[in-house]
Amino acid sequence: MNDALSATFAALADPTRRALLGRLAKKERSVSELAEPFAMSLPAVSKHLKVLERAGLIERRRDAQRRPCRLRTAPLKEATQWLQHYRRFWEEGLDRLERHLRALEIGDVGGAKEKPRRNRRERTERRNSRAGLSNA
């Protein structure tokens, strides 16, 4: 994994930073606007923004007294491409697991047929009939 990709994933590892990016995906915002929904100080939000900025996920510019932040999508695209490469392996593994679970469900594991399991209602009815009780 290259350094830029490592920085992207490290920045995305924090839920607060992911929420900040989500807010920036809608529109450019100032630090105070970004901080509004969070129960943390402006300096704490600024620290999160610095991590995002070092990872190249956001950029800040000066606009008179404001320092608006905006999302940069290139690092996210690179991370997505990296993940897509491994998606095939994950899907194949999940497909194998699904086939195995279906085989367990129908009782055909390793080619040996197992007796199908009865559900709770069937077991209760069978037990009651043996005991001479009514199922009504």
Q: What are phi and psi of 114, to 5 degrees?
A: -105, 160
The pLDDT tens digits for 54-98 are 999 999 988 777 789 999 999 999 999 999 988 888 888 899 999
| Residue of 33, 37, 35, 42 lying closest to 68 (CA atoms) | 33
Smallest CA-to-CA distance from 57 within 43, 45, 46, 70 is with 70
pLDDT tens, residue by residue, 108-131 = 666 555 455 556 677 667 666 666
Residue 44 is predicted with a pLDDT of 95
Cα 81 from Cα 18, distance rounded (Å):
18
Averaged pLDDT, 10-29: 95
How far apart CA 71 and CA 17 sit, in angstroms, is 12
- Radius of gyration, alpha carbons of the chain: 28
Query: What pLDDT score was predicted for residue 131?
Result: 66
Task: Please report the pLDDT score of residue 135 as a whole number.
Answer: 52
